[in-house]
């Protein structure tokens, strides 16, 4: 059996607070294959010379960690990856701040990853590369003579051709993806956008899931990422009274209808428009005032980037205005929490909320939508209000789909959700939950690896942890 090698910008070590469903599934696959997970350690070093890999072995998995220099962090991670690729991939070319120095750093760090990975690779390893930070990695490995099977999964959307073409040297990204044996996207729309980029530049074409670029054939397929559905549902069912902090939160929300939003602070999430829509809902439905609250949980993100600093200020000021104009001594319409919460606390809050507001302008998938569905009480589920521009909309069509740019549409959806009778809520929730149970994160991981590996290495029956 070939060894699995996972490569990502960051590595999630066992026991980490950030270990979500994807990390759990990857660790399960790595344990089964005596695998290796390589990526940035999270440490920043002063010197710019590459450092040696630091290896840790835990539970049969080898974690190979590398440090980044301060210059790499600023130009590769915060610079090209998150101030160029991230906005372009989320259709915000107006926010992209391209520079040759940033592009050079991006390819330099990918060269470094290739150099270090080459030292620990075995000839029959199967390599799975994750996300936009490392698109050129397969090309860099092949330049070093690597003949291993290499797959790539993009966790963000892939933009339309006219958006991608605003990026100088965009063709180098297309060429980099052509060096993989399998490229995975969340949705058919993402794959179609990728194919359109190739056709428009006469670089290649997509026929079914077979793609040809520069005379090289590889596969492009759709693998919608999911969550550990059973585990998340179990977390939501646990007795909140056993947790004093959580019980205090529940006491403060007692007697109110709760709409919940959970988003990392990012301009792609539509947080400010959601708050404006909630304000509009309250102004149009005076009978809902002092009875309904929006619980918006928004951990800070990428504080080093000016656009995120400005957004943090704007959202906080908006919340203050809404609460100041509509709030009373006993009622605060918007509860704004600017920190991360644990999975158990989130799951219980999802279950408590009558409405889940997931309204990004653009999102690759958005697992919050799936977590909200998984956390609901089957006998009395809440209603998911979901942006039609989130990847999850292609799977969760029974949600109330909205245009996140249209505040009136979102305000009406909140009203419709709160008025919806229980039998209709159950009718909408049931097929979504069945879908999540069938296609959970273990199925996602197994399907991708089955498609990447030779037939003898099927991973389609990847075992789930026992509950």
If asked whether residues 276 and 373 sit together in one domain, one would say yes
Indicate whether 237 belongs to any domain. Answer: yes
- The one catalytic residue in 155, 190, 440, 447 is 155
Helices (H) and strands (E) in the chain, counts: 17, 16
If asked whether residues 20 and 154 sit together in one domain, one would say yes
Q: 292 is in which domain, residue-wise?
A: 229-437
If asked whether residues 360 and 423 sit together in one domain, one would say yes
Per-residue pLDDT of the chain (467 residues; tens, 9 = 90+): 689 999 999 888 776 655 556 787 888 889 888 899 999 998 998 777 777 899 999 888 999 999 999 999 999 999 999 999 999 999 999 999 999 999 999 999 999 999 999 999 999 999 999 999 999 999 999 999 999 999 999 999 999 999 999 999 999 999 999 999 999 999 999 999 999 999 998 888 888 888 888 778 999 999 999 999 999 999 998 764 456 566 777 777 888 999 999 999 999 999 999 999 999 999 999 999 999 999 999 988 787 888 888 889 999 999 999 999 999 998 999 999 988 888 889 999 999 999 999 999 999 999 999 999 999 999 999 999 999 999 999 999 999 999 999 999 999 999 999 999 999 999 999 999 999 999 999 999 999 999 998 655 445 545 565 44
If asked whether residues 180 and 297 sit together in one domain, one would say no
If asked whether residues 186 and 66 sit together in one domain, one would say yes
Provide the number of structural domains found in the chain. Answer: 2
Indicate whether 466 belongs to any domain. Answer: no
If asked whether residues 183 and 288 sit together in one domain, one would say no
Indicate whether 162 belongs to any domain. Answer: yes
If asked whether residues 202 and 279 sit together in one domain, one would say no
Indicate whether 293 belongs to any domain. Answer: yes
> Active-site residue 155, yes or no?
yes
**In CATH, what number is assigned to the domain containing residue 10?**
3.40.50.2000
If asked whether residues 114 and 251 sit together in one domain, one would say no
If asked whether residues 187 and 236 sit together in one domain, one would say no
Indicate whether 391 belongs to any domain. Answer: yes
Indicate whether 467 belongs to any domain. Answer: no
Contact between 294 and 280 (Cβ < 8 Å): no
If asked whether residues 38 and 179 sit together in one domain, one would say yes
Buried b (16+ CB within 10 A) or exposed e, 124-163: ebbbbbbbbbbbbbbbbbeeeebebbbbbbbbbbbbbbeb
Residue located via tokens 């070590």: 13
Indicate whether 138 belongs to any domain. Answer: yes
The residues pairing with 212 across neighbouring beta strands, listed in sequence order, are: 205, 217
Report residue 412 as tokens.
């009406």
| Short-list 365, 363, 191, CA closest to 267 | 363
If asked whether residues 134 and 155 sit together in one domain, one would say yes
Indicate whether 462 belongs to any domain. Answer: no
If asked whether residues 219 and 348 sit together in one domain, one would say no
């Amino acid at each position: 059996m070939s060894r699995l090698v996972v490569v990502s910008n960051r590595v999630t070590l066992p026991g980490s607070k950030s270990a979500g469903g994807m990390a759990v599934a990857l660790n399960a696959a790595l344990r089964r294959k005596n695998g290796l997970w390589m990526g940035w350690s999270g440490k920043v070093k002063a010197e710019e010379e590459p450092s040696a890999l630091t290896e840790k072995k835990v539970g049969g998995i080898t974690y190979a960690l590398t440090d980044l220099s301060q210059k790499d962090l600023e130009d590769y991670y915060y610079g090209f990856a998150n101030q160029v690729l991230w906005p372009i991939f989320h259709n915000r070319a107006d926010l992209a701040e391209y520079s040759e120095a940033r592009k050079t750093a991006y390819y330099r760090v990918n060269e470094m990853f290739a150099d270090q990975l080459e030292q620990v690779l075995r000839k029959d390893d199967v390599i799975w590369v994750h996300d936009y930070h490392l698109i050129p990695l397969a090309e860099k490995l092949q330049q070093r003579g690597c003949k291993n099977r290499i797959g790539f999964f993009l966790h963000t959307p892939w933009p339309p051709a006219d958006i991608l073409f605003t990026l100088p040297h965009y063709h180098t990204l297309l060429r980099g993806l052509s060096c993989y044996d399998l490229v995975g996207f969340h949705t058919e729309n993402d794959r179609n956008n990728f194919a359109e980029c190739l056709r428009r530049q006469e670089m290649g074409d997509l026929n079914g899931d077979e793609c040809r670029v520069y005379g090289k054939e590889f596969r492009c397929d759709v693998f919608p990422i999911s969550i550990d559905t059973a585990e998340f549902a179990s977390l939501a069912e646990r007795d909140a009274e056993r947790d004093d902090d959580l019980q205090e939160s529940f006491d403060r929300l007692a007697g109110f209808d709760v709409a919940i939003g959970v988003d990392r602070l990012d301009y792609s999430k539509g947080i400010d428009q959601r708050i404006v829509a909630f304000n509009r809902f309250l102004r149009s439905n005076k009978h809902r005032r002092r009875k309904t609250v929006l619980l918006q949980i928004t951990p800070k993100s990428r504080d080093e980037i000016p656009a995120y600093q400005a957004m943090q200020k704007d959202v906080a000021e908006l919340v203050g205005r809404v609460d100041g104009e509509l709030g009373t001594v006993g009622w605060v319409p918007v509860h704004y929490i600017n920190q991360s919460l644990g999975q158990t606390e989130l799951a219980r809050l999802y279950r408590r909320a009558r409405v889940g507001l997931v309204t990004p302008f653009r999102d690759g998938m958005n697992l919050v939508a799936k977590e909200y569905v998984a956390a609901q009480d089957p006998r009395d589920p809440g209603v998911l209000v979901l942006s039609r521009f989130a990847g999850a909309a292609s799977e969760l069509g029974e949600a109330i789909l909205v245009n996140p740019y249209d505040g009136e549409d979102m305000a009406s959806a909140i009203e419709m959700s709160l008025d919806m009778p229980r039998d209709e809520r159950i009718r909408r929730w049931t097929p979504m939950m069945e879908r999540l149970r069938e296609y959970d994160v273990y199925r996602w991981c197994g399907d991708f690896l089955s498609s990447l590996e030779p037939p003898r290495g099927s991973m389609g029956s990847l075992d789930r942890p026992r509950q």
